[in-house]
Amino acid sequence: MEDETGCRRAGGTRMAGMMRQQVTNTDIAAMLTEIADILTLRGVAFKPRAYLRAARAIESLDEEITDIYDRGELETIPGVGSAIAAKITTIMEEGTLPYLDQLREEVPPGLRDLMEIEGIGPKKAHLLYTERGITGIEDLEAAVNGKQVRTIRGFGEQSEKKIAESIRVWKERHTRFLLGYILHDAEAIGKKLQSHPAVMEACLAGSIRRRKETIGDVDILVSTDDPDTVSAFFCSLPERRRVLMQGPKRSTIVLAENLHVDLRVIRQGQFGAALQYFTGSKAHNIRLRQRAIDRGWKLNEYGLTTRDGAEVIAREREEDIYDALGLAFIPPELRENSGEIEAAAEERLPRLIGYGEVKGDLHVHTRWSDGAHTIREMAEAARERGCEYIAICDHSEGLPVAHGISADAIFKQGKEIADLNREPDGITVLHGIEANIDRDGSLDVRKKVLRDLDFVIGSIHSSFRQPEAEMTERLLTAIHHDHLDMIGHPTGRLIMKRDPYRFDMDTVFEAAAAAHVLMEINAFPTRLDLSDVNCRRAHASGVMMGIGTDAHHMDHLRYLELGIAVARRGWLEKGDVINTRPLAEFSAWLEK
Ligand code: DGT
Ligand code: ZN
Ligand code: CA
Ligand code: CA
């Protein structure tokens, strides 16, 4: 299920708002574990063990706890007595657990964060707090640097060193942001700079320009004759929380959630060279620089010049630099040193799918399941974004926590859609569904019902931990279903949060290609699934892709752009993505 909390910080765990999401065994186990941890943190004996025992039992169940709950059999789970069963019931019914919220309130903020550091459990955190007053990762880092941890009973020099290393790893993991949650804001800042009278050119650079799925910091380049005015303007933007550095060449501000934005001020006439340099990636730049050296030149952020710098070969436009190095222009999304330089040299770069070329959204939820709006509202919002068609694909009945739609409701929904389509409003609504692929690969909606739908997505929303061979079989069975059109979010990964489930990707892709089944590029920011790399792999197997936003709200429809970014990073052309086609051609493809 999608993270709808609007939490912009990647990797954050936020349970609030879970009601509309699928409550999984993992979610419940995590909450019970958290209770145990907080109790341990507070020095409580025995009780934590009971919660941990229940959490482990739930994690190792081989059926969904929602099913057990539906049967009223929670207390048959080992370690679950009436008190814990009551708490699980609250989580199922309310999506939150007030008891846990209360516990969270009662520990100093930051103390729980300590447990995110590898090797620090609640007992150690309790000691760090009571012995040294440490209540956060920054405190801990300072204590480690001051060699104050090794002297605590039960720690020692070795474990202090280990903690130092774990802090480093933690920081690395917690300083990246999801592209989809920051792109909009970054572009807004770019536009503000662009419209400042002293700014000549402004452009995003770095990983955000390459549209990488996660972003360390936002890089922006401007050219101007008046650097002081421009940096003063940048450092007083209302979005800033802090100014880290302000200077004529480079300034850095910090936005909410500790997102850094780097501004580099470039002298006019060198913008192309600077943009090329600061767009990266580093690996791509290293290869380009080598090409320059091979030609007896040198390449840096100021331009492509002869080795002594006396003569400028190219620097005004990025295109000029690539051209001088004997390369076709390489779109930023491809600049990862993954074959693009060779392809550019041999004039066999793909003609990437364009940002305006997708004509329909293949994965839209409404109030019929867990979406926020009516079909009409979603259709109108999509039309305003330029869509020619959308496929309404609400969750099916097998996903009760997402208020999955029954066969009866599917029929009524069909009538509503037919009525809407009779209005000449410039958009066609396709009647689809996002059915669950059960453990055995069957879909949880009867064929009789699926037969009448325009578009059928099958997705895996449960039993993610099947052995690889079983998972492969499960997907193959789904692919060979008579009515399946597309596999939704094919690997199930949640970026930085949940690994993809394991299956034999090439076998599945080959089967999909042969069976004329689409693989989704799910454009929801937490998913981007297939990923760039997997798109490329799927394409190599001859698979046709379809982009869907998985929108649960009108505002999510703009994620289409993220799906296109993934497709571009995956080297896809217009012809490789089915929904670049007008409705008639799309429908004809489905019929085949
Ligand atoms: P990020 O911020 O971690 O998501 O990734 P980037 O690619 O935005 O990296 P960042 O912000 O450190 O630097 C922006 C670009 O500047 C980077 O993509 C390439 C260029 N750059 C930075 N440092 C170096 C360097 O040491 N060598 C080369 N060749 N390029 C660099
Ligand atoms: Zn789904
Ligand atoms: Ca960056
Ligand atoms: Ca940077």
Query: DSSP labels for 456-523?
Result: EEEE--S-TT--HHHHHHHHHHHHTSTT--EESSTT--BTTTBPPPP--HHHHHHHHHHHT-EEEEE-
DSSP E strands: which ranges in 387-454? Answer: 389-395, 428-436
- 201 closest CA partner among 317, 290, 280, 294: 317
Rounded Cα–Cα distance for residues 423 and 379 (Å): 12
Rounded Cα–Cα distance for residues 335 and 326 (Å): 16
pLDDT for res 509: 98
Contact 117, 137 (CB under 8 A): yes
Residue 443 identity: L
Can you tell me which atom of ligand 1 is nearest the CA of 215? 4
pLDDT for res 209: 98
Rounded Cα–Cα distance for residues 374 and 365 (Å): 9
Rounded Cα–Cα distance for residues 415 and 277 (Å): 56
Determine the 3-state secondary structure of 339 from DSSP.
coil
DSSP E strands: which ranges in 301-447? Answer: 303-306, 312-314, 360-364, 389-395, 428-436
Range(s) of the chain covered by CATH 1.10.150.110? 20-173
Residue 244's Cβ-side half-sphere holds a number of Cα atoms within 13 Å equal to: 12
Triad 387, 392, 393: Cα angle to 5°? 130
State whether the beta carbon of 285 lies less than 6 angstroms from ligand 1.
yes
Phi, psi dihedral angles at 60 (to 5 degrees): -95, 10
Partners of 519 in beta bridges: 487, 545
Range(s) of the chain covered by CATH 3.30.460.10? 177-268
b (16+ CB within 10 A) / e for 74-94: beebebbeeebbebbeebbee
Q: Is the dihedral of CA 237, 240, 243, 245 positive or negative?
A: negative
Distance, CA 527 to ligand 2 centroid (Å)?
10
pLDDT for res 27: 83
Q: Which CATH architecture has domain 273-345?
A: 2-Layer Sandwich (3.30)
Rounded Cα–Cα distance for residues 348 and 415 (Å): 49
Query: Over the chain (592 residues), what is each successive 10-residue block's mean pLDDT?
Result: 31 36 78 92 89 92 88 92 94 88 82 84 91 89 94 92 89 83 97 97 98 97 96 95 90 88 93 97 96 96 94 96 98 98 98 98 96 96 97 91 90 97 92 97 96 97 95 98 98 92 98 98 98 98 98 97 98 98 96 84
Can you tell me which atom of ligand 1 is nearest the CA of 285? 29
CA dihedral 565, 569, 574, 580 (to 10 degrees): -30
Rounded Cα–Cα distance for residues 382 and 389 (Å): 8
Nearest CA to ligand 1 atom 25: 282
Range(s) of the chain covered by CATH 3.30.210.10? 273-345
Determine the 3-state secondary structure of 19 from DSSP.
helix
Read off the tokens for 288.
Answer: 């380009």
Distance, CA 94 to ligand 1 centroid (Å)?
45
Distance, CA 262 to ligand 4 centroid (Å)?
6
Can you tell me which atom of ligand 1 is nearest the CA of 218? 2
Distance, CA 277 to ligand 1 centroid (Å)?
8
Rounded Cα–Cα distance for residues 140 and 146 (Å): 10
State whether the beta carbon of 282 lies less than 6 angstroms from ligand 1.
yes
Nearest CA to ligand 1 atom 23: 282
Look at domain 177-268 and name its CATH class.
alpha beta
Q: Which of 219, 259, 318, 337 is the best mutation target for the ligand 1 pocket, counting ligand atoms within 8 Å of the beta carbon and taking the most?
A: 219
Cα distances from 419 to residues 75, 380, 412, 457, 486, in angstroms, run 48, 14, 11, 23, 26
Range(s) of the chain covered by CATH 3.20.20.140? 360-591
Read off the tokens for 516.
Answer: 């004329």
State whether the beta carbon of 217 lies less than 6 angstroms from ligand 1.
yes
Distance, CA 544 to ligand 2 centroid (Å)?
19
Rounded Cα–Cα distance for residues 563 and 321 (Å): 29
CATH for 20-173?
Answer: 1.10.150.110
CATH for 360-591?
Answer: 3.20.20.140
CA dihedral 505, 506, 510, 515 (to 10 degrees): -10
H or E segment to which residue 327 belongs: none
State whether the beta carbon of 281 lies less than 6 angstroms from ligand 1.
yes
State whether the beta carbon of 286 lies less than 6 angstroms from ligand 1.
yes
Contact 498, 536 (CB under 8 A): no
Rounded Cα–Cα distance for residues 572 and 352 (Å): 6
CA 74 to chain centre: 33
Q: Which ligand has the shortest distance to the CA of 211?
A: 1
Contact 500, 493 (CB under 8 A): yes
State whether the beta carbon of 454 lies less than 6 angstroms from ligand 1.
no
Phi, psi dihedral angles at 479 (to 5 degrees): -60, -35
- In total, the chain counts a number of residues equal to 592
Distance, CA 393 to ligand 2 centroid (Å)?
9
